[in-house]
Chain A
Amino acid sequence: KQEVTQIPAALSVPEGENLVLNCSFTDSAIYNLQWFRQDPGKGLTSLLLIQSSQREQTSGRLNASLDKSSGRSTLYIAASQPGDSATYLCAVKITGGGNKLTFGTGTQLKVEL
């Protein structure tokens, strides 16, 4: 059974700081991995999708990496802003697991002025 863990559970940083969020998964036979952000009481916004054959993806100030062999992904946020404050979720889809996304528990990020 695929298990997805995110560390830290919560993080508070001053504006402008670069930061890294971590995602670990137990089954390395993944099809893809996706990062989302969730604002309080809202749905999910897709940030980045990494296919199993890829090592990283970039979008603006965000960079996500994938290391299947170690079962890890990181989301790097450059020059953080108060608007980045949200919960960040990673989700994996395993090979042969149908189309189910297995979600991590999330990292709650607060960027302070």
Chain B
Amino acid sequence: SAVISQKPSRDICQRGTSLTIQCQVDSQVTMMFWYRQQPGQSLTLIATANQGSEATYESGFVIDKFPISRPNLTFSTLTVSNMSPEDSSIYLCSVERGAGTEAFFGQGTRLTVV
């Protein structure tokens, strides 16, 4: 298994501001991902966080809106930039130790934009 610490657990933010979410894993992992869960919806992959290089974004998500860093094999951040109420969601960090292995998730960050 993997123990994932995600911070903050929740936040209420003003529109137009930015929030950075941190994801810390208890040991090195090959793959780290960021997902979004909009109210009443299932999870959608935002991007794969690549260690030492630019993240790989899914269709509909762009780096300017969701910049991601991954400086090492245990840590990643997701920034939600220039927020609007439509960004109100739960954001979740996920890790896998290797391709095709079990995925583990953090407890999520509940973001409300007012």
Using CB atoms and an 8 Å cutoff, list the residues of chain A in contact with chain B: 31-32, 34, 36, 41-46, 49, 51, 89, 91, 93, 98-101, 103-106
- Of chain A, the residue at the smallest CB distance from B10 is A41
| Interface CB pairs A-B, < 8 A, 16 | A34-B102, A41-B90, A41-B110, A43-B105, A43-B106, A44-B43, A44-B92, A89-B43, A91-B43, A99-B31, A99-B96, A99-B99, A101-B45, A103-B43, A104-B42, A106-B42
Q: Give Cα A99 to B48, complex, Å.
A: 8
With A43-B105, A99-B33 already in contact, the answer to whether A93 and B42 are too (CB < 8 A) is: no
Interface of B is mostly: strand
- Give the complex CA separation of A101 and B96 in angstroms: 11
Looking at chain B, what size class is its interface with the partner chain?
20 to 34
How distant is the Cα of A106 from the Cα of B37 in the complex, in angstroms? 12
Chain B residue contacts of A93, Cβ below 8 A: 100
Q: Which residues of B contact A43 (CB under 8 A)?
A: 4, 6, 92, 105-108
For residue B60, give the distance in angstroms from its CB to the closest CB of chain A: 13
Query: How many angstroms between the C-alpha atoms of A103 and B101 in the bound complex?
Result: 16
**Cross-chain contact B42 with A89 (CB below 8 angstroms):** yes
Contact present for B31 and A44 (CB under 8 Å): no
